[in-house]
Amino acid sequence: MANFYTDNPNLKSHLQHPLMKKIVELKERNFADAEKYDYAPLDFEDAMDSYDKVLEVVGEICGDVIAENAEEVDHTGPRVENNRVIYAEGTKKNLEACRKAGLMGMSMPRRLGGLNFPITPYIMAADIVSRADAGFENLWGLQDCAETIYEFADEDQKERYIKRVCEGETMSMDLTEPDAGSDLQSVMLKATQKEDGSWVLNGVKRFITNGDSDIHLVLARSEEGTKDGRGLSMFIYDKRNGGVNVRRIENKMGIKGSPTCELVYKDAPAELCGSRKLGLIKYVMALMNGARLGIAAQSVGISEAAYREALEYAKDRKQFGKPIIEFPAVAEILSVMKAKLDASRALLYACARFVDIYKIYDDIAKERPLTKEEKLEAKAYSKLADAFTPLAKGMGSEFCNQNTYDCIQIHGGSGFMKDYRCERLYRDARITSIY
């Protein structure tokens, strides 16, 4: 009965950072929801207690279900049948456990079915899930896309799509194409507006995580004759309407439980999200900043798993008559691993708190004008989030690669064998510094 939250006191100390008081009070708008929802917090302590309880549930599911299934999922992986993705059995069980525990759409407002969690405790859940299985984090973590719908879609779209995510439907972000990877300005998937005003999508996307999801956010070229980012808009595609097939899934090195799909769009009906031409320059930039924070959390979770595996092995394995942890060279590797883990986690939560404050102010600004002080504060935190997001993602992913490398080193020859978890962690880590 492992609990990946309660067995890690570092998490609670990050959650109890002094800035959380401000974050919670802003997020809860003076706890107004308490009058409407019996599960809404009454005050700051009550809100913190509810994050703690939910994270305990996350920790339990991760320790008892997701981590237990990780090996089977890594071996079996998903498959494609009749152009649809079939998840590995363990992945289905993981998703069911998360749905039952209400862990989908966690950061969405209560009126749309969410838990109204700030980003900080939500990102902590992502850190914990990634320690259990980084591949599953990709599927579960794509609930992030609901943030983009919440920020930029109209009220009707929010009602129709976010509620479904909170009930457990999955999402994907369909950006990359064979000729448009880092250079998303080159996206060519074509969006055509019909006479009745509706849109259809035609073309190919590749490397799409969970590409057979229920609800897709799609970057497509809506302005005929354009070649750069200003001709791109963002669309919502609903799988219930049909029109998108999975041509294949990639045979990958790591995160094998997470299906990476090539998608073919054939007259796929879709809805414009937000305004035309702002797809890349505004909405995808916001979407990617959320994804970067998610990958930073994924990196920290993998680092945590690698450090724990290495520590246990070093205490257990004896050479020259004593546990190898007693050799200074091994102890030094472990202490550097721990320093990298702690540093990347500190960056992650510093960043999450900055994101929380400026995003909550952005949301409040839709309800009432911000005061001058609030505007200044929102701007300052937005600048901090801009500086910290690439740091948390960049450093976190590099450190996680280094920590899984060192974890194998500490295991010696055994680390090179498929029998130990460190081998999977090493493969799973590699993608974090690429995507």
Ligand X SMILES: Cc1cc2nc3c(=O)[nH]c(=O)nc-3n(C[C@H](O)[C@H](O)[C@H](O)COP(=O)(O)OP(=O)(O)OC[C@H]3O[C@@H](n4cnc5c(N)ncnc54)[C@H](O)[C@@H]3O)c2cc1C
Q: Which region among 99-107, 119-127, 175-183, 408-416 touches ligand X (by CB under 6 A)?
A: 175-183
CA angle 39, 43, 46 (to 5 degrees): 55
The least distance separating ligand X from the CB of residue 433, rounded to whole angstroms, comes to 9
Site for ligand X in 315-344 (CB under 6 A): none
The least distance separating ligand X from the CB of residue 354, rounded to whole angstroms, comes to 24
SS3 state of residue 146: helix
Using the rule CB under 6 A, which residue among 148, 176, 401, 432 binds ligand X?
A: 176
Using the rule CB under 6 A, which residue among 30, 82, 182, 251 binds ligand X?
A: 182
Binding mask 267-286 for ligand X (x = CB under 6 A): --------------------
Burial level of 78, CB count in 10 A (0-12/13-18/19+)?
buried
**Span between the terminal Cα atoms of the chain, in Å:** 34
C-alpha span between 100 and 89 (Å, rounded): 17
Q: Which residues contact 304 (CB under 8 A, 6 or more apart)?
A: 8, 127, 131, 341, 345
Nearer to ligand X, 110 or 427 (CB): 427
**Which residues on neighbouring strands pair with residue 85, listed in sequence order?**
80
C-alpha span between 308 and 298 (Å, rounded): 16
Site for ligand X in 183-242 (CB under 6 A): 207-209
Site for ligand X in 155-174 (CB under 6 A): 172-174
Nearer to ligand X, 260 or 389 (CB): 260
Q: Are 314 and 414 in contact (CB under 8 A)?
A: no
Which of 344, 329, 379, 327 is closest to 358 using CA atoms? 379
The least distance separating ligand X from the CB of residue 300, rounded to whole angstroms, comes to 18
C-alpha span between 39 and 329 (Å, rounded): 52
Residue 107 binds ligand X (CB under 6 A): no
b/e 303-331 (16+ beta carbons within 10 angstroms → b): bbbbbbbbbebbeeeeeeeeebbeeeebe
Using the rule CB under 6 A, which residue among 54, 55, 73, 175 binds ligand X?
A: 175
The least distance separating ligand X from the CB of residue 20, rounded to whole angstroms, comes to 31
Nearer to ligand X, 82 or 182 (CB): 182
Nearer to ligand X, 138 or 403 (CB): 138
Q: Closest residue (Cβ) to ligand X?
A: 181
38: phi then psi, degrees, rounded to nearest 5:
-70, -15
Backbone conformation region of residue 251, classed left if phi is above 0, alpha if psi is from -120 to 50, else beta: beta
The least distance separating ligand X from the CB of residue 210, rounded to whole angstroms, comes to 7
C-alpha span between 395 and 259 (Å, rounded): 26
Residue 145 binds ligand X (CB under 6 A): no
Residue 435 binds ligand X (CB under 6 A): yes
Site for ligand X in 27-56 (CB under 6 A): none
The least distance separating ligand X from the CB of residue 329, rounded to whole angstroms, comes to 33
DSSP secondary structure of 37-59: -TTS-SSHHHHHHHHHHHHHHHH
C-alpha span between 132 and 300 (Å, rounded): 12
Site for ligand X in 250-269 (CB under 6 A): 252, 260
Q: Which region among 95-103, 176-184, 276-284, 319-327 touches ligand X (by CB under 6 A)?
A: 176-184
List residues near ligand X by CB under 6 A.
172-176, 181-182, 207-209, 252, 260, 431, 434-435
